[in-house]
A and B are shown apart, each in its own frame.
Chain A
């Protein structure tokens, strides 16, 4: 396999492939930067061009573009508090406060370094799992997904900041609004008030952009000045950020593994990978109480996870033809167009193409970061521009992004309503991240709860992965209590 990897690397680095990779990376980064344009859109846009390309060139174009979308999205998340797509939502929590402190360059450096490392680790995970992937993917049924989603809910405590009651209310409210629309089990309409727009439920994009982008822009217009507050020294060099990644390399690796593992599970959706990694980064770095104030770990955790998840998501896509997300479904279609049939063929006679995909993942992640690095200095300067010029432009682009969620005016109204809710929540100390996490997980929990109940009944608790996840959940909930009791006991003795 190593020999094949070498051959694929050589094949990936031939001039035509490099040109297609450059085009793909440029396209992916720019598209990722624009709010509302995710990986799916990028792949759909490139799809018509792959018909006339060789297999290698098509892989170079598609994989490189898809791999760096999250990297592009992290820049708008850090500079303006506007996540490029849901996978960048958790980057806003600490990346944007870093920009406000004048550390935009450092934050982008952290994002680029951890994204690159995460992407490479994701590719390595894919490479290592190919021979053993079948039992791993097959061991994840609805019951396992339910408990993994419940583990995700436990991260609300990390995202709640200093007010756990308000955090819990926000998380529960998020779960409740995720239930708007047609019930998956019975087909009954819930909270739709006879509105056709609400039949399909509230769309993720307008809710997310409203909560973070609109509320942030309104807040900035009121406070005035620039994004970088006060007379802060603008740290526009990304070098400090890259050094932060080196210093925290073990945390980056662990978060990347979290991202890759979540990416592997079809149907769970990579959107939660960055939240779980964020929560983990906060807990394991001992910086839990400072999360949300502009902590380096709050950027490198989610950024490494969201790039690593692409490698993980490719595992079921390539091995079984089971796309874990909409993006992977489009990629699957594209691979079929260029003659790659996922499954036995791809892992047998066409294995060299899989290795080329892995090589492309690695190279495009490095190349994406290298492409942005020279511009970080100028990007960081945007935070010093008067916000009354930036805000209306960002608001209109956000509106265009939100509208493309379902191409209905309802998207714009949703954006406005959640913009107002997000603004009030920010001002009054309610956790917006907790709400969005609840919103993402609500539907996943409900669907998998009914599925696993119908399939296994109470027997689901006896499944090995469920048992492990239950123990993990108990540890998350009672761990801090036991830890403090033990510390107290030690203090008494």
Chain B
């Protein structure tokens, strides 16, 4: 967690620095608020990184945290990565074939492979869900469902 915490803090600091640097290119009225908020935010983010590093060093000296190997990183983050791939898959499916079909395909595959439900149960839940979405949200409420770029 220590390494991940530091990476996130550094990325956040970089984003804030970029936002401040970009703000210098705006005219003075448009730049006022980003600079008034951004500069203290950069300072605080830098302080935060310093505090995190100090805390990690102290913990390392006490032997609380060991440098993690490549193998233990995969053990710790493998599940996380897998779930994020699922979510990314959902976004790609929705982008390609729309919310109704993309969402339905995702639900079926997720139930079958991740949730380890039986084939007929996965299929049944997916069909009920798609029908509910189509009838209630699309037909009754006339909600716009993203159609996808292929359909």
Chain A interfacial positions (CB closer than 8 Å to B):
34, 37, 45, 165-166, 168-169, 172-173, 175-176, 179, 183, 185-186, 188, 190-191, 214, 218, 221-222, 386, 388-389, 391-393, 395-396, 399-400, 403-404, 407, 409, 412-413, 416, 419-420, 424, 427-428, 442, 445-446, 449-450
Contacts and interface: CB of A to CB of B under 8 A. Distances in A.
Interface in B30-88: 30, 33-34, 37-38, 40-41, 44-45, 47-48, 51, 79-80, 83-84, 86-88
Contacts, number: 137
* Interface of chain A, main secondary structure: helix
A165 B44 contact: yes
Contacts of A172: 16, 37-38, 40-41, 44
A407 B79 contact: no
Contact of A190 (B26, B88, B110): B26
A168 B5 CA distance: 17
Given A218-B83, A399-B90, A428-B4, A183 B26 contact: yes
A188 B95 contact: no
27 contacts: A37-B141, A45-B141, A165-B44, A165-B51, A168-B44, A169-B45, A173-B15, A175-B37, A183-B29, A190-B22, A190-B34, A388-B110, A388-B115, A389-B115, A389-B125, A391-B110, A392-B106, A393-B107, A393-B129, A396-B103, A400-B99, A403-B99, A409-B95, A413-B91, A416-B88, A442-B33, A442-B37
B90 A396 contact: yes
B19 A191 contact: yes
B91 A176 contact: no
B145 A176 contact: no
Nearest to A184: B30
Among the interface residues B1, B107, B146, which one has the most CB atoms of the partner chain A within 10 A? B146
Interface residues of B, number: 56
A337 to B, nearest CB: 19
A428 B115 contact: no
Contact of B143 (A165, A404, A409): A404
Contacts of B94: 399, 412
Contacts of A165: 44, 47-48, 51
Contacts of A413: 91
Interface in B1-29: 1, 4-5, 8-9, 12, 15-16, 19, 22-23, 26-27, 29
B87 A419 contact: yes
Given A424-B8, A446-B33, A400 B137 contact: yes
B135 interface: no
Contacts of B146: 403, 407, 409, 412
B48 A392 contact: no
Contacts of B1: 427-428
Nearest to A393: B129
Nearest to A187: B30
A349 to B, nearest CB: 37
Contacts of A218: 80, 83-84, 87
A173 B41 contact: yes
A93 B8 CA distance: 23
Contact of A392 (B5, B91, B110): B110
A221 to B, nearest CB: 5
B144 interface: yes
Among the interface residues B37, B106, B114, which one has the most CB atoms of the partner chain A within 10 A? B37
A307 to B, nearest CB: 23
Contacts of A37: 141, 143
A44 B141 CA distance: 10
